[in-house]
Amino acid sequence: MKNKLRHTIDSLKNDLRYSSNLKKFVPAVNAFDTFLFVPNVVTKSGAHIRDAVDLKRTMITVIISLVPALLFGMWNTGFQHYSQLGESVSLFESFGFGFTRIFPMIAVSYAVGLAIEFGFAIYRGHEVNEGYLVTGLLIPMIMPVDIPLWMVGVSVAFAVIIAKEAFGGTGMNILNPALTARAFAFFAYPTYMSGDKVWVADASTIDAISGETILGTLAANNPSIQYSWWDMFVGVVPGSIAETSTLMALIGAFILIFAGVGSWRIMLGCLIGGAFTGLIFNLLGVNALMSFPFYLHLVVGGFAFGVVFMATDPVSAAQTTKGKWIYGVLVGIFCILIRVFNPAYPEGVMLAILLMNVFAPTIDHYVVSANIRKRKRRWQLAKANG
C-alpha cells in the first residue's frame, strides 16, 4: 500500500516535471508528498546547522500543544450548552455536541485557507508552506461557537490574503494571521462576535440560555461573578471555543517551552506586565473591572491562550532576547489597559497582541542599535586606555 502510494506520487511528479504547461502544479504535489512522507532532500553545500527540526516539525509541535485546549474546548462547548438548559449529560455526550459544532468550523477553515495557499503557491511558483496548518486550527479555536460557517470562511480568506500573502507568505507577515482573522470578524460582524448571546451554543435562539462572559459582566459594571477561581482556571465558563481554559493553555505552554518552540520570556513578560497593571488598577478600584483582582485577570478571558499561542508566534513577535521581554511586558500591560478602559472591548488580549505585533520590528531595531552603541563605546574605551 505504502509503496504503491510512493510509486504513484513519483510517477505523477515525473509526468508533471516534463510537461510544460502542468509544471506549475509541482509545488502542490510536493506539498502532499511531504505531508505523507518524510522528505528526502538534504542540504548539500554551505555551512548549516545539523538539526532534525524543520518548519513542518515546529508546526506539528504547536498543533500537539493545541490539542488539549481543543479537546477541552469541545467538551466545554457541550457542557455549557447542556448545563444552561439544566440537563446533566455524560462527558461523551457533551464532547460529542461540541465536536459536531466545532469540526465543521475547522474543516471550513482548512479548506478555504489551504485552497488560497495552494493557489498562491501555484501562481507564484514556490513550495506550499506548512504555516497554515497551525493558523487554520487556531482560527476556529478563538471564534464564538455560534458564528456562521461562511463568516469563518470570509475571515480566513481575509487573513490569508491580506495578513499573509500580501506581505509575501509564510514567515513574512507582520500581524499574526489567526488574530487578524478574529479581528476582521470582530469588526465586520460585531453582533456575532460580542455581546451576551454568542458565547454558548444556541444562546440566541433558546431563551433559557444566556452566556455572558466574565469580562462582559464586569464591563457592564456588575461585580457579582458566579464562577469560582477554580472554574475560571480550569475553564468551565462561557467564552470563545478553546480560550477559556488557563489550565490547558499552561499544558500547551509546557509542551512549547520544552520543545523549544515557544519563547518563555514572552510568556513570562506578559504575565508580569498583566499582573503589574492589574495590581495598579486594584489600588485605584473605581469600577467593577478595576477592582477585579489582578490574579483573576490572568485566568479569565483569552489571556492565557493568547499569551501562550499567539503572542509567541515566532514570525510576528520580537526576535531579540531583550526585545522579547519588552514585547511580552507591553502585551500584558496593554491587554489589561484595553480591558479596563474600553468597555466596548471587554477582552483586550487580541488587540494588545496585534498592536505589539506592529511594534515588534521597532523594538528589535532599538535593541540592536543599543547593543551596537554599547559595543562601540566599549571599543572606544579600550582604544583610549590601551
Partner 1 sequence: MNKKPYVFFITKNLKPKSLLSSADRKLLVDPLDDDNPITVQVLGICSALAITVQLRPAVVMAISVVGVMAASNVIISIFRNLIPSRIRIIVQLVVVATMVILVDQILRAFAYDVSKELSIFIGLIITNCIVMGRLEAFALGNGVWRSFLDGVGNALGYGLILIMVAFFRELFGSGNLMGVQVIPDSIYILGYENNGFMLFSPMALITVGIIIWVQRSRNRKLVEEY
* Contacts to partner 1 by CB under 8 A: 148, 150-151, 154, 162, 166, 184, 187-192
Q: Which is nearer to partner 1, 95 or 184 (CB)?
A: 184
Nearest approach in angstroms of CB 236 to partner 1 is: 30
The CB density around residue 119, as the number of other CB atoms within 10 Å, is 14
In the complex, what is the shortest distance from the CB of residue 118 to partner 1, in angstroms, rounded to a whole number?
Answer: 18
Nearer to partner 1, 149 or 271 (CB): 149
Cβ atoms < 10 Å from Cβ of 3: 7
CB of 120 to partner 1, least distance (A): 12
For 109, phi and psi rounded to 5 degrees? Answer: -60, -45
C-alpha to C-alpha distance for 262 and 249, rounded to whole angstroms:
12
Rounded Cα distance between 194 and 239, Å, is 10
Q: How far is the CB of 158 from partner 1 (least distance, A)?
A: 9
Least Cβ distance, residue 173 to partner 1 (angstroms):
15
Q: Residue 28 — φ and ψ, nearest 5°?
A: -65, -45
Tell me the closest approach of the beta carbon of residue 190 to partner 1, in angstroms.
Answer: 6
Please, which residue, 192 or 281, has the CB nearer to partner 1?
192
Q: How far is the CB of 364 from partner 1 (least distance, A)?
A: 22
Q: To the nearest whole angstrom, how small is the minimum distance from the Cβ of residue 151 to partner 1?
A: 7
301 grid coordinates: 478571558
Cα–Cα dist 214/211, whole Å: 9
Question: In the numeric block, which cell numbers belong to residue 248?
Answer: 490547558
Measuring CA to CA, which residue among 203, 344, 326 is closest to residue 263? Answer: 326
| Residue reference for cell 500547551 | 252
Q: Which is nearer to partner 1, 184 or 199 (CB)?
A: 184
181 versus 242: smaller Cβ distance to partner 1: 181
Cell 495557499, residue located: 117
190 vs 361 by CB, closer to partner 1: 190
Closer CB to partner 1, residue 146 or residue 347? 146
Closer residue to partner 1 in complex, CB, 183/304 = 183
How many angstroms separate the CA atoms of 62 and 25, rounded? Answer: 28
